[in-house]
Amino acid sequence: MEEHGPVPPPHPAEDVTEHVGYRLKRAAAALRGAMDRALRDHGLTVPQYSCLELLDERPGLSSAELARGTFVTRQSAHVVLRGLEDAGLLARAAHAGHGRALPVHLTPAGRERLHAARGAVYAVESRMIEAVPARRLAALLADLDTMAAALGE
């Protein structure tokens, strides 16, 4: 069996906590925790809120499109959508228009809940981005998009 030396890190780093992936995960976990706390007062989870936001912007998305847009599996999206539907926050068409996917729409109650929760979520995002100098925000967003594209997203 051939001996292999240590694998060099992708960039200079003393330990794993200095890796870009670790820092991205740490930031994502902090964001998720803050959003969970903010949305609890509105009776929503982060995936539920994300579905409401997407449907507000693009009414009629299918459950598969909502799964992709909220970064959850189709099975998880089904659970999220069922909860929102049971709460009267969204409705699915009885019949598919084109193709087999049933379009999903916000109900008036869903729109109301979204608008109530949006301020809390935007306050979380504001706290997060205020930590970055305004002159660097556009570059940060572009870099995040470039990294996602490099991984095929």
Cβ contact 30:63 at 8 Å: no
CATH of domain 16-148: 1.10.10.10
**DSSP state, 107?**
-
What is the per-residue pLDDT across 22-50, written as a single tens digit (0 to 9) for each?
999 999 999 999 999 999 999 999 999 99
**Residue with the two structure tokens 């998305």:** 61
- The answer to pTM > 0.75 is yes
pLDDT digits (tens), the chain, 153 positions: 566 788 887 878 788 888 899 999 999 999 999 999 999 999 999 999 999 999 999 999 988 999 999 999 999 999 999 999 999 999 987 766 666 677 899 999 999 999 999 999 999 999 999 999 999 999 999 999 999 999 997
Cβ contact 88:111 at 8 Å: no
- Residue 8's identity, in one-letter code, is P
- In order, the DSSP letters of 29-68 are HHHHHHHHHHHHTTT--HHHHHHHHHHHHSTT--HHHHHH
Give residue limits of the domains in the chain: 16-148
pLDDT of residue 16: 85
CA triple 100-102-57, angle to 5 deg: 130
